[in-house]
Amino acid sequence: MSIKEYRTAVEARGGLLVMKQTPGVAFGDRVRIEDHAGGIRNGQVIRASDEDVLILVFEGVEDLDLENTWVRFLDAPVEMALSPELLGREFNGLGEPRDGRPPILSSLRRAVGGSAINPAARTYPREFIQTGISTIDGLNSLVRGQKLPIFTGSGLPHNRLAAQIVRQARLKNEDAAFSIVFAAMGVSYADAKFFRDEFASSGVLRNVVMFVNLADDPPVERLTLPRTALTAAEYLAYDLDRHVLVVMTDMTYYAEALREVATAKGDVPARKGYPGYLYSDLAEIYERCGRIHERHGSITMMPVVSMPSDDITHPIPDLTGYITEGQIVLSRELNSQGIYPPVHISPSLSRLMKDGIGKDDTREDHPRVAAQLYALYSRALETRNLASIIGADELSTHDRRYLTFADAFDRRFVGQGENEDRSIEATLDLAWELISIFPKDVLTRVSEADIAKYYRELDESQAGSAGGGPASGVTTAVQSHSRRRRRSASGAQPAGAA
C-alpha cells in the first residue's frame, strides 16, 4: 500500500483522533500527524473499520485544528531502531533521542509490541542474584529472569532502593555486570535527575539505556514507553547476549494513562474505572522478562509500583502481584522509624527463591534459615501487638525474647546502609546471630544439623544483649560478633540492653 495522507479527521477527544474515509488502514499501524502549525505528532491505529479509524495520538490532541490536520499512515507498526549504540543513551517512549544527540541509525528495526514467548522455549530461572540487601538476598531472593516488583507508597525511598540494587546487583560467582534498561513513566524531573546522577556517579552510565517520560510529558506516550524499553532489553539480552536488569518506574502512572485512554474510548470499566483488560495489558509487559533455552542473555525486571493510599489491594498492585513472581513491599511504619530500606518482610515474597538458593547456590542452610526467620518474626509481631496492649512488663520471659528479637531484626537485619553491600554469607551469619537469641528447642524450622553448625551459644544474659547492639546498619555480623566476644571476656554485661 502506498503511503497516503488524509485530512479527514472528524473528532478529537482524550488523546484520540477519529478519521473518516481512510480505507485499508491496518490495525496497530503507526501514524504521523502534521498539525496546522506544522508540528509533527505520532500516533497508532487502535481501531480500524470500513467507515472510520481511531488513532491514539501519543503527544495528545490538544490544540488540533481538525480542518488543517494532515494524517499519514506509515504502513508499519510502531518500531524501535536497535544497535549497540543504544547503551548510554536516553530516549522517549517512541524511541526518539531525548539527550540532544542524533537518532540511532540502524537497519535493524523491531515492532515494539513484541509477541508471546512460547512457554516450551523458556528456561526456569534459577541463578541467584546478590543484591547486597539482606531482606532481599536472605528472605526474598531474586534470580536471573525473575520479575520482582517493589510495592511502595509516596514518600518512601523506593528510588534509593532501586538505585542501590542497580549498583550492587551481581551474580554470586560471576563478575559480569548487568546492563540496565531504565524506563521512567510519569516521574518528576527530580526523580529522573536522581537516577541520571546516580548512574553517572556510580560509573554504570555506559551500561544503561534510559527511556524517560516525565510527569509533564504527554501521558499517552507512557503506553508505548515500557514496550519500547523492553524491545531494547530483548535486543541487548538475546542479540547481544547480555544480562539485562530492567527497572521500570512507576507502573501506577502507566496504568493511569491506560485508564485515561480507555475512558476516552468508551471501554466498559471494571474496577476503579480501570478497563477489564488491565490484567492482560500488564501481563504483556511483565511477561517479556525471563530466560530462553540456549540463549545466553536474560531479562530480569524490577518494576516500581506505588500503591495509591498505601493500599495493596488497589487494582494496580493487586493485578501486578498476580503476574509477577513475588513482591518487595516497603512499609511506611519502618520508614518513619528511620529504618532503611524499609522492607516489610511479611507481605514480601519471592516465588522463584526456592530453586535459586541452598547448597549449590548460596549456602545449605539458607532455605530453612529464611523459613525460621519468617516464623519467628511473625510471632514477634504478634507479641509486639500484645505488648502494646498489656505492656511489655506483663509478658513472660519467653515472650520478651520475641520483643528483643523483633527490635534487633528491624534495626540490624532490615536496616542497613545505603552503600552497604552485604554478601549472602554475611546476611546468613547475621540471621543466625539473631536466631540464637532463642533457645534451640524453639527453632523448629531449621534442622538439627544447621543448629549444630551455626547456632551461637549464648547464655541468657547475653541473649538479651545480642539484639542490643548499636542501631547502625553499617555494623557487619563479624564486627558485632567480635565485639560481643570482647564484652563477654571483660565480664561486664548490660543485661537486656535492648
Partner 1 sequence: MSETQRVGTVRDINGPIVTIELPGIRHGEQVKIGDLGLFGEVISLNGDRAVVQTYESTDGVRPGEPAEGLGWPLSVELGPGLMGGIFDGVQRPLEKIALLSGDYIRRGIDVAALDREREWAFEPNRDLEVGQTVEPGAVLGSVQETETVLHRILVPPGVHGELEELAPAGNHTIEATIARVRTRDGRTRRLQMYHRWPVRTPRPYLRRDDGVAPLITGQRVIDTFFPQLKGGKGAVPGPFGAGKTVVQQQIARWSNADIVIYVGCGERGNELVDVLETFPKLDDPYTGRKLMERTLLVANTSNMPVVAREASVYVGITMAEYYRDMGYDVVMLADSTSRWAEALREVSGRLGQMPVEEGYPAYLASRLAAVYERAGRVETHGAGSGSVTLIGAVSPPGGDFSEPVTSHTKDIIETFWALSKELADARHYPSIDWVTSFSGHVHTAAHWWHENIDASWEERRREALALLARDAELSRIVNLVGPEALSSSQRWDLEGAALIKEGVLQQSALDDVDTFCSPEKQFALLDLVLMIYDLGAELVTRGVPVQEMQRLPLLSRTRRIKSLYSSEQLDEIEAFRTEVEQTLENLRLEYEKHEEQAG
At closest approach, how far in Å is the CB of 60 from partner 1?
22
Q: Whole-angstrom Cα distance, residue 182 to residue 191?
A: 12
| Comparison of 14 and 114: residue with beta carbon closer to partner 1 | 114
Q: Whole-angstrom Cα distance, residue 262 to residue 29?
A: 18
Query: And the C-alpha cell for 335?
Result: 520508614
In single-letter form, the type of residue at position 88 comes to G
| Comparison of 38 and 391: residue with beta carbon closer to partner 1 | 391
At closest approach, how far in Å is the CB of 153 from partner 1?
16
At closest approach, how far in Å is the CB of 45 from partner 1?
9
Closest CA to 51 of 7, 8, 4, 15: 8
At closest approach, how far in Å is the CB of 146 from partner 1?
7
At closest approach, how far in Å is the CB of 201 from partner 1?
34
Closest CA to 446 of 496, 364, 371, 395: 371
| Residue in this structure with the C-alpha cell 500500500, named with its chain if needed | 1
| Comparison of 212 and 334: residue with beta carbon closer to partner 1 | 334
Q: Whole-angstrom Cα distance, residue 58 to residue 442?
A: 59
| Comparison of 86 and 292: residue with beta carbon closer to partner 1 | 292
Burial of residue 352, with CB atoms counted within 10 A of its CB: 0-12 exposed, 13-18 middle, 19 or more buried: buried
| Comparison of 77 and 88: residue with beta carbon closer to partner 1 | 77
Helix (H, G, I), strand (E, B) or coil at 301: strand
As a whole number of Å, the end-to-end CA separation of the chain is: 76
Q: Are 19 and 53 in contact (CB under 8 A)?
A: yes
| Residue in this structure with the C-alpha cell 495509591, named with its chain if needed | 308
Query: And the C-alpha cell for 321?
Result: 502481584
Query: And the C-alpha cell for 160?
Result: 534509593
| Comparison of 125 and 132: residue with beta carbon closer to partner 1 | 125
At closest approach, how far in Å is the CB of 48 from partner 1?
5
| Comparison of 102 and 391: residue with beta carbon closer to partner 1 | 391
| Residue in this structure with the C-alpha cell 523458556, named with its chain if needed | 122
At closest approach, how far in Å is the CB of 475 from partner 1?
27
